[in-house]
Amino acid sequence: MKLSKTEEELMNHLWKLETAFMKDLLECYPEPRPASTTIATLLKRMQEKGYVGYNQMGRSRQYYPIVEKKDYFSTYINGLIRKFFNDSPAQFASFFTRETKLSDAELEELQDMIHDELKRRQS
């Protein structure tokens, strides 16, 4: 199940903090901060979707991510590849390298990553 834009923003704060109480999450936002009831509603939805858990500490809850950022990002990117690039990672890579205005140094870095991955798979 995908997160909404506002849920993703909150999830990014939680991934960064690793564990957080409501006050910690609220402090991540610039003024004017969202209402604590808004954050509580988002956290409840994210719990129901299986992204966030919590430990009860007295009357407070300490929240933590259940899904790792890398796993969420991987699922998201693979969905984009399926939906927009005919399930072809090569089409995605072609689009990405041509349309994102990468510098020569960034292209060489990608080339090195691909070369290293091919070597790793062959061993």
| Predicted TM-score of the model (pTM) | 0.79
The number of domains in the chain is 2
> What per-residue confidence (pLDDT) applies to 2?
86
Q: Does 118 reside within a domain? A: yes
Q: Does 52 reside within a domain? A: yes
Cα–Cα distance measured from residue 97 to residue 29, given in angstroms and rounded to the nearest whole number:
33
Q: Does 101 reside within a domain? A: yes
Q: Please answer whether residues 3 and 49 qualify as being in contact, where contact means their C-beta atoms are separated by less than 8 angstroms.
A: yes
> What per-residue confidence (pLDDT) applies to 1?
74
Cα 5 vs. chain centroid, distance in angstroms?
Answer: 11
Q: Residue 96's domain spans which residues?
A: 85-122
Dihedrals phi, psi of 50, to nearest 5 degrees: 85, 20
From residue 64, alpha-carbon distances to 71, 82, 118 in Å are: 15, 30, 35
Tell me the pLDDT tens digit for each residue of 20-38. 999 999 999 999 999 999 9
Same structural domain, 49 and 94: no
